[in-house]
Every structure is written in C-alpha cells, then in structure tokens.
Chains A and B, each alone.
Chain A
Amino acid sequence: MPADRHAMSAGTEEAPASGHTAPPCVVEMRSITKTFLDVTANSNVTFSLREGEICALLGENGAGKTTLMNILFGYYAADSGEIRIGGEKVSFSSPKDAIACRIGMVHQHFTLVPSQTVLENVVVGSGGGKFFLDLSGARKKLLALQERFGLSVDPDAPVWTLPIGGQQKVEILKALYRDARILILDEPTAVLAPLETRELFATLRTLAAGGCSIIFISHKLYEVMEIADRVVVLTKGVLTAERKVSETSERELANLMVGRDLAEKKRPPRGTPGSPLLEIRGLTVKNDRNLEAVNDLSLDIRSGEILGMAGVSGNGQRELAEALFGLRKPVSGTISVNGMPLPPARPKASVESGMGRIPEDRMTTGLLLELSVEENLVLENHADFRSLGMLDHGAIGRHAERLISDFSIKTDGRTAKAQTLSGGNLQKIILARELSASPKVVVAAQPTRGLDVGAIEYVHWRILDARASGAAILLISEDLDEIFQLSDRIAVMYEGRIMGIADGGSASREQIGLWMSGVNEPCA
C-alpha cells in the first residue's frame, strides 16, 4: 500500500527542513540515567532538540521513552545527568518548573478529570495567583487557541463524555494554554483513528511552523516517517541510533528497534469460510450516557473468517464489544454463538459459549494486576480446577507453565504478580487465556493498542492462527493497517450503525475512510 502511504504524507514539505540553517537547541539532555528497583529505564542518554523541530522517539515497549520524557517534564528525577533549556542549566523538582520553562507534555495515559468540564481541566493550576476562578476569561483564551490550531471541543462538556480523540485534544490544549514552546506527545496516535491522526498532524505542523519544538513518540513507523524531521531510537534504555527522516526508511527503523527484520506483512490467503458462528441480530445497546451507541446492528461472521470492524473511536465499538462480553445489557436484539443465543448481560454465559474475548482495556477489564500470572490465566475457567470446593493448585500450576511456554510469556515465574509484567506480556496472558482453548468465536477489541512492533507481530500471528483453526473472528480496531492486514471482510461502524462492508482484499482506503467519516456514496 505504499501508494496510500504517499497520499497520507502529502504536505511533509511544510515542516521546516532541518539542516540548512541549523536553528538553536532548545533542549539538551546530557547523559541521563534513571533506574527503578530492578530496571534501568534510561542509561546515559544524551538527547537534544532544536527549535521548530519535530523529533520522533522510537523504541520497544519498556525501552525508556516515557521515562526519559517524564524526566524532561520534571515528573521523574533523574539519578544523574543534566538538562539544559535554551542553553540554561535547569533542575526540575516538579512539572511546575518544567511548565515554567514552557514545556508541555501529553501523557501516554491521559491525565484528565473525567467528571470535570473541558474548561476546568484546561485551566486548573493556571490561576496565576488569582483566588477566584475567571472562567469567562479562560473560555475566551481557550476558544482562541481552538480557533488557531483547529482543536475543536466543547469547553463545557464533561470530559468523560468525550471520545478518546476529543480527550486528547484537551490534553494538547492544556499544554498550549500554558504557552508551551516545547511539546512532548507520548504515543498520541496510539488511540487515534487515521482521520484524527491526520488532524493531529496538521495541528503539529502549524505548531512547528510557529517555532514550537515537538517530541513525538509512536510505535507506528510510517507516522514517524510522515511527521518527523529526525528520529531517535532507544533500546533497553540506551540511545542506540539517530537518523534524519530524509535519510532512512521504515524498514531500517524497524530493524534498529527490534534488532531484526520483521516478517513481510502479508495476509495469508483466506480459507473457504464455513457456517456462521457469530450471529448478531438487531442489536441495540446504550452507552453510559444512556444514548443508543449501537443501533439495530446485525452481523454474521463465519467459521474461518476475520471480520475487521473499523471506525473512529466512540462510534459504538466499545459498547458492541461489552454487549458481546456480557458486560452491558442490550436494549434489544440477539447474539448467538455457534447457534446458541446468549442471555443478556451474563458474562459467565459468554465465557461458557466458548467465545475467546480480548477486551479493549487490558489493565482494567482483562486482568487482575495484583494477582499472580497463574491466577490470571485461570480467571475464566478456575472452576474446572475445582475438587469439592477447593482449587487444585498443582493442576493450575501445570496449566500455567504450559501456557507460559506456549505463548512465550516473559515473566519471573507463574507466581509473579501480573503488574510486574510488561504491556506486551500482559497482552500475551490474555491471548493465552482466551485462545488456548481453541474457541469457536473470537472477539478481539483493539488487541494491539499501545504495543510495539514486535508484540504486534506476535498478536497478529496468534489471531491468524485462530482463524486457521476455524474460528469466526470479530476484530474491532481503530488501526486501519491492522484492519487491512488481517481482515477477510471489512465493516465500518459509524454512529452505532454499519456503514458498509467491503471485501478485505479489494477494499480501498478511500472508501473505508469515507465510510468512517459517515459519507455513504461510493467513490469513483
């Protein structure tokens, strides 16, 4: 698909081409080292950023990207090393100092107060010594910013009512509201749909053009190629490579990150799909705001087929998945797995129906972080290890050992607490739990969100593997590449409805993109 890639990167030219007249360094981090208990997150990292430059930070999960940025933002204290801002040596004891140096950071995991309005979230802490809140003044300033950078969100909407894309805008506005000149974005696109990403990039370019310097973290190499002027690669806490984007390639970057070439991303040929295993009829589901998020939706998925459900976040995908998992009570409609209808809002039933369930938020829904790996592995089937009310720990242990090796989960042992595992490995626990019993139906929601290329590769392989063994798979994802790589059929969800379904092999990104934005006439 290089063609579309090119289409997307149209306009890279606007970005100030670094090199010709080298602008001054606004940030210099010298030999930064940071260790946590048992991990060295950054070792002797030296990094610099020029004015108006967009610099991408690459690295596997746990490479130390977030840590390095947290140090620059004054959130973590480095064990050693020094930081200079605009040539001045600084020592930050808290983000307050960093903000004073006009540094802003959009965190990997949003730092918003859901119950408060956008405006409140933006102005908090920026009172400037005033005692009484001046919300009207703040609103003016905010609207002006929105105007200027095309970041439109309703200032008075409570944040929890916003889609993820909207929440991210709030995060960016928070930084800009404090006149940040140095902007750090930690995996901003991980949760965005292509359209939103495009909007974001437009904003970033405007900012950079205005002399704002940007550090951009992402696991998506083509994004880096598109938006960044320069790329820096961290591996296991060490800065291992630096490239001008103009002088490198996706392939090289992948290699630099993972330390090996990634398998060529090619979708294995689809088998002949069998009988429908997952049937959804007239499903209507309400969201937390009690609005209809899924609207009279019907769908069939056949054995040995992957249906990719694309769509901009907040169009009902979450609610659809929750209904399938039995976490949310449908208003109407039926769901049947392998011919058997599921009783509404009974997670147990969806477990017993033999559905493999990969939830969107692995931390809050999928896992018991404070319990051990083995306890997480038997969350759904611990009853099978019961003998007169007691758990057969021996059997559970053996079961865990097998899965840990089958799914090559990196852990200090089956009794290690899940929370000490890494993102990718946490996802592996879920895969192991859900796919090892060779389920008839698999529902995977955002299965690779936040994971690095290596981990993603593994997840994809597992999903295709499940398809090969005849499962009907619903893949809900906001990552179009993932959709295009895996799907036999591609459906697009818009405002709770299915805009259309296209064949995975022949569908065009334009068509899907149009559907995602709610436009329905087929394009020439």
Chain B
Amino acid sequence: MIITKRAPLPGWVQVLVPVGAILVTLLLSAAPILFAGGDLWLSYTSLFKGALGTRYNFLETCVKAAPLTFTGLAVAFAFRAKFWNIGAEGQLLAGAIAATWVGISAPALPKVAVLILVCTAGFLAGGLWATVPALLKTKYRVDDVVTTLLLNYVMWHIMGYLLFGPLQMPNSSWPRSPAILEIARFPVLLARSRFHLGIVLAVAAVLIVWFINSKTVFGYRARAVGVNPRAAAFGGINVNSVIIRTALLSGGLAGMAGVGEVAAIHFHLLMDISPGFGYSGIVIAMLGRLHPLGTALAAFFFSVIIVGAQSMSRLTGVPTYIAEVIQGMALIVMLIALLLTEYRIKAVKD
C-alpha cells in the first residue's frame, strides 16, 4: 500500500467527504449496537433526535460544544506554535477555580462589570497556569508534553485541596464550593434552555483567534515559530517570548471553558467539572486541522456525537459506554476521510 498526494478535489467533494464519514461511522457502530442487542433503526433515529431532533436537544448540543470549542481553540493555537499543550484540562480547572472564587466573592458592581471580572480571572488563571510549562520549556528546555500533562494532575489535586478546604461550602462536607452569586452567572439567552452567554463568547473566540492568526503581527510570528523556530530566530523573532505569549493565550482560552462550566452550567465548583474537555480539545483541534473555524466545526460535530450517542444508549438500553466507542470511531473515520481528500491510496503488494 502506498500513498500519494492527489490533485485538489472540487469543493463539493470536500463537503461530501465528512458527510460520508458520518455515514460510515453509523454503519460501523451497528456492530456494537447489534452485539448489545439494540434496535438499529431506533438507535439511529434516537441518536439524531437526541442531538438535533428537538429545539431543547439542539440547544443542549450547542451547550456541550461551547467548552469543546474553547479547549479546541486553546490546543489549536498552541500546537500551531509547536507548543505541545496537553494541559488544557488543568488550565480549564484553573479557570474554573478562579471564576468560582470571583463568583462567590463578587463585589457589588453592575452585572456586566462582574461578568468581565469573572471572565478575566478565569482567562488569566488558565493562562498563567499554562505559562509554567512554557517557562520550563524556554528556560530549561523541559519537554512541554510531559509537564503540561503532569500539571493537569497537580491542578486537579490543588482543586481537591481547595474544595475540601478554603473553597468548601460552609455547611457541606462534600468537595463542592458555595454557589456563585446570581450577578456572576452567565445570562441564559434563550428561554427554556441552557443556551448561555458562554456559547456566544465561544463563537467570538473563534473569530478572534482566526483574526490573531491571520491578521496580526503576533499571529505571523507564532506561525513562523511554529513552522521553523530556527529560521524565525534568524529573522529576529524572539522565539521564547512568542512561545510564552502563545501559552498565555492558549491557557486563557482553556480557562474560559472552565469559566463557562462554572458560570453557566453548575454555578459552583466540583471535582468532576470537566469530563475531559481538555483532552477532547486535542482531538478536536487536530480534526479541525488547527484552524479556528475547522476547530469550531469539529467541536460541534463532536458534541452531536456525544449528546446523540448518550441519549441513544438510554432509549435502546445499550450500555451508556457505547457513546465513547462511537466517539472514538467517529474520530478515526473522520480522520481517514480527511486524509482521502488530500491523498490517494494505491494498493501495491511489497
């Protein structure tokens, strides 16, 4: 089997391929469903109904897409500058912690001011937490993959400490913080749903990152450092400062995901505030080819699968873990599909 680049495909094929990928995924997921004795037709219909079928479900899918978009952007932006940030999870937690802290003790200010305060706190917390590995990378050449990864656990336990200590709800023995003040909560934008301000912020973030990447001096430098640090340095770009700023922004974006979960979903801090949004972010960024818009699409695609598959498992009585199985398959199939848009595969016996 050999693989060779192919001439660019026409636009409509480019569009069709992902659609095809989704169909293939459904086909493949038939195996585990039947294995578990589920009803295929019901599964497929409930999958789509669960994710997009009703107004509420569709909006729920958007709700799920918001944090995924933030972490996806965080990773995409970092990876572009070859800062291998596997730590979006920890940065998300940092953001959540800061947002909670501000949200609990918010000063008496107009709501807008408080919200800005909450977001800034979360953004900075995530960003600063990400600059730790960035500094270790630039100062001591410590591999960023490991440090970002390990610091996720560190932050998780720091959160654990806070939730059993300073941040614990007074009359509770559980690892939970007090609820944040009304004034610090994201407004719900559509009645009878959880469609909140954070979703709009996520969309805004997509545009901002796209703008930074393609229009600003910093974006140019980040790209230069990303494709060839040595050449960038030769050209007079301060590689270290670019990496650190990248980390700050990347971590900040991840932090915003945490802010959203606190200020719009849970209204308080708890240990499992993130079902691995940070790690999914890596997958999503890669699916989106590290491009902001692609990342947003990937995030939505992913939440459709998550939300849909979960509801499907309930309606068909298939163990809920099928959701992750389908996610995994969807990811891999989509990846192969995207490959086929660029390459053609020739079967050749060695």
Residues of A with Cβ closer than 8 Å to B?
37, 77, 93-94, 325, 327, 347-348, 350-352, 357, 359, 364-371, 375, 379-380, 382-383, 386, 389-391, 393
Per-residue CB contact flags for chain B residues 135-168 toward chain A (1 = under 8 Å, else 0) read 0000000000000000000000000000000000
Known pairs A93-B350, A389-B216, A390-B217; A369 contacts B227 (CB<8 A): yes
Question: In the complex the two chains form, is B235's CB within 8 Å of A379's CB?
Answer: yes
| Complex Cα gap A364–B234 (Å) | 10
Is B314 an interface residue when CB atoms closer than 8 A count as contact?
no
| Complex Cα gap A364–B229 (Å) | 9
Question: In the complex the two chains form, is A368's CB within 8 Å of B232's CB?
Answer: yes
- Closest CB in chain B relative to A516 CB, distance in Å: 28
Is B224 an interface residue when CB atoms closer than 8 A count as contact?
yes
| Complex Cα gap A186–B3 (Å) | 26
Question: In the complex the two chains form, is A386's CB within 8 Å of B217's CB?
Answer: yes
**A-B residue pairs in contact (CB < 8 Å), sample of 16:** A93-B348, A327-B230, A350-B236, A351-B236, A366-B234, A368-B223, A370-B228, A375-B220, A379-B224, A382-B217, A382-B220, A390-B215, A390-B217, A391-B217, A391-B220, A393-B215
Closest to B223 in A: A371
Known pairs A93-B350, A369-B227; A347 contacts B234 (CB<8 A): yes
Q: Determine chain A's interface SS by DSSP, over half rule.
A: mixed
Is B45 an interface residue when CB atoms closer than 8 A count as contact?
no
Question: In the complex the two chains form, is A357's CB within 8 Å of B234's CB?
Answer: yes
Is B208 an interface residue when CB atoms closer than 8 A count as contact?
no
| Complex Cα gap A175–B227 (Å) | 34
Is B174 an interface residue when CB atoms closer than 8 A count as contact?
no
| Complex Cα gap A380–B228 (Å) | 14
Question: In the complex the two chains form, is B233's CB within 8 Å of A347's CB?
Answer: yes
Known pairs A382-B220, A390-B217; A352 contacts B236 (CB<8 A): yes
In the bound complex, residues from chain B placing their C-beta under 8 Å from that of A379 are 224, 231-232, 234-235
- A368: contacting residue among B6, B7, B217, B231, CB under 8 A: B231
Is B5 an interface residue when CB atoms closer than 8 A count as contact?
yes
- Closest CB in chain A relative to B316 CB, distance in Å: 46
Question: In the complex the two chains form, is A380's CB within 8 Å of B235's CB?
Answer: yes
Closest to B226 in A: A370
- Closest CB in chain B relative to A436 CB, distance in Å: 15
- Closest CB in chain A relative to B242 CB, distance in Å: 13
- Which 9 residue pairs of A and B lie closest in terms of their CB atoms, listed nearest first? A348-B236, A379-B235, A351-B236, A370-B227, A380-B235, A347-B236, A368-B227, A386-B217, A365-B234
- Closest CB in chain A relative to B342 CB, distance in Å: 11
* Interface size counted on chain B using CB atoms at 8 A: 24
In the bound complex, residues from chain B placing their C-beta under 8 Å from that of A366 are 231, 234
| Complex Cα gap A393–B350 (Å) | 49
Is B238 an interface residue when CB atoms closer than 8 A count as contact?
yes
Residues of B with Cβ closer than 8 Å to A?
2, 5-7, 215-218, 220, 223-224, 227-228, 230-238, 348, 350
Question: In the complex the two chains form, is B218's CB within 8 Å of A371's CB?
Answer: no
In the bound complex, residues from chain A placing their C-beta under 8 Å from that of B232 are 368, 379
| Complex Cα gap A365–B230 (Å) | 6
Closest to A357 in B: B234
Question: In the complex the two chains form, is B217's CB within 8 Å of A383's CB?
Answer: yes
Closest to A393 in B: B215
In the bound complex, residues from chain A placing their C-beta under 8 Å from that of B237 are 348
| Complex Cα gap A148–B228 (Å) | 43
| Complex Cα gap A389–B212 (Å) | 10
Question: In the complex the two chains form, is B224's CB within 8 Å of A371's CB?
Answer: yes
- B235: contacting residue among A351, A364, A386, CB under 8 A: A351
| Complex Cα gap A367–B227 (Å) | 10
Question: In the complex the two chains form, is B217's CB within 8 Å of A389's CB?
Answer: yes
Closest to B349 in A: A93
Known pairs A375-B220, A390-B215; A380 contacts B236 (CB<8 A): yes
In the bound complex, residues from chain A placing their C-beta under 8 Å from that of B218 are 389
| Complex Cα gap A350–B238 (Å) | 13
In the bound complex, residues from chain B placing their C-beta under 8 Å from that of A348 are 236-238
| Complex Cα gap A479–B229 (Å) | 29
In the bound complex, residues from chain B placing their C-beta under 8 Å from that of A393 are 215
- Closest CB in chain A relative to B41 CB, distance in Å: 44
Give 17 A-B pairs besides A94-B350, A365-B230 with Cβ atoms closer than 8 angstroms.
A37-B5, A37-B6, A327-B233, A327-B234, A348-B237, A359-B234, A368-B223, A368-B224, A368-B231, A368-B232, A369-B228, A370-B228, A371-B227, A379-B232, A379-B234, A382-B217, A391-B217
Q: Which of B5, B230, B236, B237 has the most CB of A within 10 A?
A: B236
| Complex Cα gap A362–B98 (Å) | 47
- Closest CB in chain B relative to A151 CB, distance in Å: 31
- Closest CB in chain A relative to B243 CB, distance in Å: 16
In the bound complex, residues from chain B placing their C-beta under 8 Å from that of A77 are 2
- Closest CB in chain A relative to B345 CB, distance in Å: 15
In the bound complex, residues from chain B placing their C-beta under 8 Å from that of A347 are 233-236
In the bound complex, residues from chain A placing their C-beta under 8 Å from that of B348 are 93
- B230: contacting residue among A94, A364, A380, CB under 8 A: A364
| Complex Cα gap A77–B4 (Å) | 12
In the bound complex, residues from chain B placing their C-beta under 8 Å from that of A375 are 220, 223-224
Question: In the complex the two chains form, is A390's CB within 8 Å of B216's CB?
Answer: yes
Question: In the complex the two chains form, is A391's CB within 8 Å of B231's CB?
Answer: no
In the bound complex, residues from chain A placing their C-beta under 8 Å from that of B2 are 77
In the bound complex, residues from chain B placing their C-beta under 8 Å from that of A350 are 236
| Complex Cα gap A359–B230 (Å) | 11
- Closest CB in chain B relative to A392 CB, distance in Å: 10
In the bound complex, residues from chain A placing their C-beta under 8 Å from that of B6 are 37
In the bound complex, residues from chain B placing their C-beta under 8 Å from that of A325 are 234
